[in-house]
Amino acid sequence: MTVEQSALFSPYKIRETTLPNRIVLAPMMQCKAIDGFASDWHFAHFSKFALGGFGTVMTEAIAVEPRGRITYGDLGLWSDEFIPDLKRITDFIHAQGALAAIQLAHAGRKACWQRPWEGNGPLTQADTVRGEAPWGIVGPSELAVGESYQTPHALSVSEIREIVKKFGQAAARANAAGFDIIEIHGAHGYLIASFLTPLVNNRQDGYGKDRAGRMRFALEVVAEIRANWPANKPLFFRVSSEDGGGEGGWGLEDSVVLGLELHKAGVDVVDCSSGGVRLSATLANQARGPGYQVPFADRIKHGGGVPTMAVGLILDGLQAETIVREGRADLIAIGRQAMFDPFWAHHAAQQLEADVHFERWDPSAGWWLDKRVGGLAMVGYDSTGKPKATTQANPP
């Protein structure tokens, strides 16, 4: 397959922005920020995916206000002070020919947690020894995540409007920091998702009651961001296609309706995740096979008429190519497999034989890897350095 024949490596134009290929780094919290600031860690972390061929490198969830952080280690964008460090990262991503996307978030009632490796539960007074005292959390209703969790303050209408404004202000800062795409984090039980699901939102005012009321906060955030974000730049929205709370919760057909409304309001791509209404959306507490969320992306794309991004155990290039080729999703987000292999996109191109001469790599590596191919072939090895399946050759 040539690169021109690959669906996965075909460019994708949204508004005036062209994604160089269909591969997006999924948002993944690092919990490495100090007071919300990005450091050399974040520069090195995001840069490696741009070098690894990801057409779009998306940040982790970045909080629009301090109280909306999941952990003390979350990145923030509630002040202009955060812009220069993020700009350094987007400049490098752009220099590699990739696009930079930012996920804007508010953790709501799932804020104020320990870092995963420090307990992965709610912060308690015991965490103050590390200088990480619990703070007050907010949500649509006074419903805690679980027994040992803090009960959130139910936001008043004026407090909701304040948070909506903060999303808009963060969007303007994201533009100043050079981002090409914003993704709104509307999934995994965080603030926007908690407004959507009847399991958590029992409000009786205009932000609850029925599905239209529960979608209102999400749609107001979209409108506010659109008002503060250039019309030629794409806007994505990550949804929990099903909230993971079982009967009576937010389901796939609700997401189809939401997809339609989001698209009308100016969202270009719905990123189709799932779960998290109570605990983590990602931990391996249930059996999941490769591409387990692709049916959600497929249904929301075809039912809601909105382009979608598929995510969740998409493991190799062939699997990703097939999803795009079959029209089940327009974009592919790679999460943990990218942690395992930051050069995933380049390796996918090798697997698909869409980059036989390593032309997608920076020439400082690609030139050498291409020259290596002939020698490897003579001893029965393929271009990736693995013995060819049919040969008995020994390592040189």
Ligand X SMILES: Cc1cc2nc3c(=O)[nH]c(=O)nc-3n(C[C@H](O)[C@H](O)[C@H](O)COP(=O)(O)O)c2cc1C
- Indicate whether 64 belongs to the interface with ligand X (CB under 6 A): no
Q: Please, what is the minimum distance in Å from the beta carbon of residue 79 to ligand X?
A: 20
Whichever of 71 and 90 has its CB closer to ligand X, that residue is 71
64 neighbors 102 (Cβ within 8 angstroms):
no
- Indicate whether 265 belongs to the interface with ligand X (CB under 6 A): no
- Indicate whether 337 belongs to the interface with ligand X (CB under 6 A): yes
Residue 40, SS3 per DSSP: helix
Can you list the alpha helix ranges (DSSP code H) found in 1-156?
Answer: 40-51, 83-95
Please state, in angstroms and rounded to a whole number, the distance separating the CA atoms of residues 335 and 330.
17
Closest CB to ligand X: residue number: 335
Tokens of 315: 């493991």
Residue 368, SS3 per DSSP: helix
- Indicate whether 60 belongs to the interface with ligand X (CB under 6 A): yes
Whichever of 48 and 372 has its CB closer to ligand X, that residue is 48
- Indicate whether 169 belongs to the interface with ligand X (CB under 6 A): no
Please state, in angstroms and rounded to a whole number, the distance separating the CA atoms of residues 162 and 170.
12
Q: Please, what is the minimum distance in Å from the beta carbon of residue 19 to ligand X?
A: 17
Residue 256, SS3 per DSSP: helix
Q: Please, what is the minimum distance in Å from the beta carbon of residue 321 to ligand X?
A: 16
**Nearest Cα residue to 219 out of 209, 231, 206, 230:** 206
Tokens of 210: 């029925």
**Nearest Cα residue to 88 out of 54, 37, 52:** 37
- Indicate whether 114 belongs to the interface with ligand X (CB under 6 A): no
**Nearest Cα residue to 106 out of 148, 79, 85, 76:** 76
From 49-57, 151-159, 182-190, 362-370, give the range in contact with ligand X by CB under 6 A. 182-190
- Indicate whether 77 belongs to the interface with ligand X (CB under 6 A): no
**Which one from 12, 190, 207, 381 is the annotated catalytic residue?**
190
**Is 12 noted as a catalytic residue in this protein?**
no
Candidates 185, 226, 233, 299: give the one binding ligand X (CB under 6 A).
185
Candidates 7, 29, 137, 300: give the one binding ligand X (CB under 6 A).
29
Considering CB under 6 A, how many residues would be counted as binding ligand X? 21
> How many beta carbons lie within 10 A of that of residue 395, not counting itself?
8
Candidates 19, 61, 184, 279: give the one binding ligand X (CB under 6 A).
61
- Indicate whether 345 belongs to the interface with ligand X (CB under 6 A): no
Please state, in angstroms and rounded to a whole number, the distance separating the CA atoms of residues 258 and 281.
20
Candidates 264, 302, 325, 336: give the one binding ligand X (CB under 6 A).
336
Q: Please, what is the minimum distance in Å from the beta carbon of residue 392 to ligand X?
A: 36
Parallel, antiparallel or unpaired: strands 17-19 and 12-14:
antiparallel
Q: Please, what is the minimum distance in Å from the beta carbon of residue 302 to ligand X?
A: 21
- Indicate whether 238 belongs to the interface with ligand X (CB under 6 A): yes
* Through-space distance between the first and last CA atoms of the chain, rounded to whole angstroms: 29
Give, to the nearest 10 degrees, the angle between helix 211-228 and helix 252-265: 30
267 neighbors 218 (Cβ within 8 angstroms):
no
- Indicate whether 71 belongs to the interface with ligand X (CB under 6 A): no
Q: Please, what is the minimum distance in Å from the beta carbon of residue 209 to ligand X?
A: 27
Candidates 311, 348, 354, 369: give the one binding ligand X (CB under 6 A).
311
Candidates 143, 144, 313, 356: give the one binding ligand X (CB under 6 A).
313
Q: Which residues pair with 246 in a beta bridge?
A: none
Annotated catalytic sites, by residue?
Answer: 190
Which parts of this chain interact with ligand X (CB under 6 A)? 26-29, 60-61, 103, 185, 187-188, 238, 273, 282, 311-314, 334-337
